[in-house]
Amino acid sequence: MLSRSTVLLLAYRHSATTSRRHLSASTKHDIETAARASARDRSDASGKGSRPASVLFGVPIALTFSLGVWQLYRLRRKERLINERKNRLNAPTIEVDSLFETSDTDHRRTSVSGHFLHEHEMLVGPRSAPKDMPMPVLQWGGSTGLQVITPLQTTDGRIVLVNRGWIPQRLSARSRRENAHVNPYAFLTKVDQHTTFHHYTDHSPRSPQVSLVGVVRNKDECNRFTPENIPAKDEWFYVDAAAMLRRQGLEGCDRVVELVEPYPQGGWPYPRGIELYAEFRTPPSTHITYAITWFSLSACIALLTRFRMRQKHRV
């Protein structure tokens, strides 16, 4: 039989072992609980911190995407306007009487016969050269010039303003145009044996009778940077038919006919090609480029935002 001291020693060892087991299990449980609580706190803190970041990055994403959608809207609208202009330009030619009877004449072709009143000529500008102007001509005369507006008295005595085309600054005097050293039509492939020309005799106060075809314009294209006209000084920065007629002491149509044909024999003034009337200052290709730019920027910001958020969750 075991002695009493041996029994007590065994009982003590058993009690110590049991206590260590319980302490180890309790400590492990406490550590696991604390770890879960810490992870939960970090998750809550991360969620609270990500909400302002989501708003901060979400605004530019939405804004740039909206600008891309807006450019697509402008693209569809521009394509519709171009088709409308083409339909009007390809419609049957209207008579000059329509200019005095109806206002629905913008970008319609018309035929007019009469005499140019060169003594009442007016210059509008400065204006950039037409986009189809040959480079040798630009090197000779420069890329900035004027538009020539000349009243035309029709065969029945009515007055119509005609925008005869563009001239470089060096040809602002009428006497210099007929003997100009450079003729733009010498460089153009669109001129052939079927092209019609006319000698407009700019130097004389009144031209012989001429029959022409032009495009009706109800108003001139100008923007907020265009200066105001100064009629008293004969300074015209945009075409204002009513004001121009008053300045010249004439009465007539409040619209302008832009000459298309026949071309001037000496090349000046240089009329605008009819194919250019269906174009706008901002072509459809520009809206496509802007849309791609805005959508790409929106996608880049979204990807960077996602990458940043994932990095924060990993910390």
Same domain for 298 and 277, yes or no, is no
pLDDT confidence of residue 175: 81
Q: Is residue 179 part of a domain?
A: yes
Same domain for 240 and 145? yes
| Token pair of 7 as six digits | 């029994």
Residues 63, 203 within the same domain: no
Same domain, 195 and 265: yes
Asked if the structure places residue 62 within a domain, the reply is yes
Q: Are residues 60 and 189 in the same domain?
A: no
Which pLDDT does position 219 carry in this prediction? 83
DSSP of 258-306, one letter per residue? EEEESEETT--SBPPPGGGGG--SS-HHHHHHHHHHHHHHHHHHHHHHH
* pLDDT top residue among 87 and 37: 87
Q: How many C-beta neighbours within 10 Å does residue 271 have?
A: 23
Over residues 179-229, the pLDDT tens digits come to: 787 888 788 766 666 777 777 777 677 778 889 999 999 888 787 888 999
Same domain flag for 113 and 235: yes
Q: Is residue 65 part of a domain?
A: yes
| Residue percentage of the chain with pLDDT more than 70 | 78
pLDDT at 12: 53
Residue 261 and residue 273 in contact, taking contact as beta carbons nearer than 8 Å: no
Cβ neighbours for 253, distance < 8 A, ≥ 6 positions apart: 99, 100, 158, 159, 160, 161, 241
Q: Which residue has the higher pLDDT, 78 or 30?
A: 78
Q: Answer with the residue of higher pLDDT: 95 or 313.
A: 95
Report the amino acid identity of residue 255: R
Which of 198, 209, 168, 201 shows the shortest CA–CA distance to 259? 198
Amino acid at 36: R
Q: Which domain holds residue 297?
A: 52-90+283-315
Is position 141 within any domain?
A: yes
Is residue 271 in some structural domain?
A: yes
Residue 5 within any structural domain of the chain: no
Is residue 37 domain-resident?
no
Residues 60 and 101 in one domain: no
What is the predicted pLDDT for the residue at 222? 80
pLDDT above 80 for 28: no
Mean predicted lDDT score pLDDT of the chain: 82
Residue 269 in domain: yes
78 & 183 share domain: no
In this prediction the pTM is: 0.75
> Do residue 250 and residue 305 come from a single domain?
no
- Could you tell me if 109 and 246 lie in one domain? yes
For 142-173, write each residue's pLDDT tens digit: 899 999 999 999 988 899 999 999 999 988 88
* Residues 153 and 237 sit within 8 Å (Cβ to Cβ): no
Judge if 78 and 202 occupy the same domain.
no
pLDDT of residue 23: 45
Based on the structure, what is the number of domains in the chain? 2
Q: Is residue 221 located within the same domain as residue 173?
A: yes
